[in-house]
Amino acid sequence: MDVYKINGGNRLKGTLKVSGAKNSAVALIPASILANSSVTIGGIPEISDAWTLKALLEEIGGEVSFKDGQMIIDPTNMLAIPLPNGNVKKLRASYYLMGAMLGRFKKAVIGLPGGCFLGPRPIDQHIKGFEALGAKVTNEHGAIYLRADELIGAKIYLDVASVGATINIMLAAVRAKGRTIIENAAKEPEIIDVATLLTNMGANIKGAGTSVIRIDGVEELHGTKHTIIPDRIEASTFMIMAAAIGDGVTIDNIIPLHLEAVTAKLREMGVKIEEGEESVFIPRTDVLQAVDVKTLVYPGFPTDVQQPLSVLMTQAVGASKVTDTIYTARFKHIDELRRMNANARVEGNSAIIQGPTKLHGSKVTATDLRAGAALVLAGLIADGETEIQDIYHIERGYSSLIEKLCALGADIRRETIEVSSVKRAK
């Protein structure tokens, strides 16, 4: 099995470039199904989720090439082929195939999606939206069956401002008859990115990025070219790494506006951040102060960033508290950090972290994508060698992570070890 091995203590210095947004890519790729000719999407991160979606589009008859971050998708010969299992189980965002295939073919069969296990993440809001547009939705043998004679615009109020449901309903509604209004829509930048692609394809969407989105259905959508927005979660992860063990790091290809909540919290901890138009520079930080953080939907502090930030908190003076209001099961990394000598505990939906403490290298397991990123950071600042197992989680969301960190001076490598010799950390 493949692991990451990190020798901690090397300070990071230099410039790195952020990849395109994972959370955009996983929605933009399925959105191409709705076009009647070729769609080109640039800046896609080279992550396993992107390769999985490429395979899924090929399974339903798409012609797809993916090279140097550019995906060219020809959806002309796609068919509404059922996707009950296989690749569809590998990533949570495969649910976007429901909205896209429903929008184009008026029917779809999609296996219940996989991805990181972060506690219950029901798709009831997605289903409610599809039903409002006129689809019949049933769960048969662990797959979701969607069928509609025709889709007709409707007013849909989301009980929870869910990014996935907002995008999925948009995908289904762009070719429905009449007007769809999504109220209490999520406002994340990735939603604006998907709306931009769909608008470039000929869709009529107003209000993306606000809590009310209006969509007037059109007869058909055509191919287009689009470049994805930078990944604000990857950018935040590197900003935290620069604050923890940087000697002057420039992070390039970012949209500072998307990072405001993270930037403000890092400044509160005593980190200096110099903003450019599309980059930030973080000089060396010697003393960090404890802070309290509560995760919220955008534009609040992102749940995807609390795990890396909790590692930075182990180096801050005093007691820090992280409260996650989005995903209850997002503290599995705390047990792993304690194995590395962190002074931390979980109380309900909060983690309390006392610092500063010296972390020690250890054998740890990435339980999900962002927990994996947190453990990479912990390994970079720990004494001795850290071995991270189950790295496939990390590679679902971070493109060329080893290369980017090595270019800054980190001592991190990927190694294949004999499974028999793996003493699973218990």
Instruction: Say what the pLDDT of residue 426 is.
Output: 45
| pTM of the shown model | 0.92
| Mean pLDDT of the chain, nearest integer | 94
Residues of the chain above pLDDT 90, percent: 88
Choice among 8-12, 118-122, 266-270, 373-377 with the minimum mean pLDDT: 118-122
Q: Could you tell me which of 373, 418, 395 has the C-alpha nearest to residue 6?
A: 373
SS3 at position 152: strand
Tokens 């979660």, residue located:
233
Count of H-run helices and E-run strands, the chain: 13, 23
Active-site residue, selected from the candidate residues 116, 359, 381, 408: 116
Set out the domains of the chain in order of their start, with CATH numbers. 2-19+230-416 (3.65.10.10), 22-227 (3.65.10.10)
Quote the tokens at residue 66: 């993916």
Taking residues 326-346, what's their average pLDDT? 93
> What are the C-alpha distances in Å from 193 to residues 106, 165, 362, 387?
24, 15, 40, 36
- Ordered alpha helix ranges (H), 32-162: 48-59, 96-105, 124-132
Q: Report how far residue 240's alpha carbon sits from residue 255's, in angstroms, rounded to the nearest whole number.
A: 16
- Dump pLDDT digits (tens) for 397-422: 899 999 999 999 999 999 999 876 55
Quick check: is 406 catalytic? no
Longest dimension (CA), the chain: 63
Binding site feature residues: 22-23, 92, 121-125, 304, 326
On the question of pLDDT at 122 being above 80, the answer is no
Average pLDDT over every residue of 16-41: 97
- According to the model, what pLDDT value does residue 422 have? 53
- Give the confidence band of 117 by pLDDT, cuts at 50, 70, 90: low
One-letter amino acid of 349: N
Q: Give pLDDT, residue 419.
A: 79
Residues contacting residue 2 through CB under 8 Å, at least 6 positions apart: 391, 392, 414, 415, 416, 417
Exposed / middle / buried, residue 67 (Cβ in 10 Å: 0-12, 13-18, 19+): exposed
* Binding-site residues from annotation for phosphoenolpyruvate: 22-23
pLDDT higher at 225 or 423: 225
d(CA 172, CA 108): 11
Rounded CA gap, 289 and 107, in Å? 54
Cβ–Cβ < 8 Å for 221, 35: yes
Mean pLDDT of the region 289-306: 96
